[in-house]
Amino acid sequence: MAVEFVTCPNCKQRLALHSSMVVGTIVVCANPHCEARLRIIKRRPLRVEQVAVEETLNANSSPESYG
């Protein structure tokens, strides 16, 4: 499966994300000192934005779908 690389906006760590991930997916930064919640906001090229933890919890209870 293909992966794409993005840079964490919080710590600049390079992250490998599966290219099958859809917009709206929440991922956690792989840097153990960062662990920022990142939402995929754009694909081709892949882009992420940092989200607040509380927002992440809401997203988990009622997941949004952007197709």
Least distance between Zn ion and beta carbon 30 (Å): 7
Least distance between Zn ion and beta carbon 34 (Å): 3
Alpha-helix runs per DSSP H in the chain: 53-61
Binding to Zn ion (CB under 5 A) within 7-66 occurs at 8, 10-11, 13, 29, 31, 34, 36
Helix, strand, coil percent values for the chain (each to nearest 5)? 15, 35, 50
Check residue 41 and report its DSSP letter.
Answer: E
Q: Footprint of Zn ion on this chain (CB under 5 A)?
A: 8, 10-11, 13, 29, 31, 34, 36
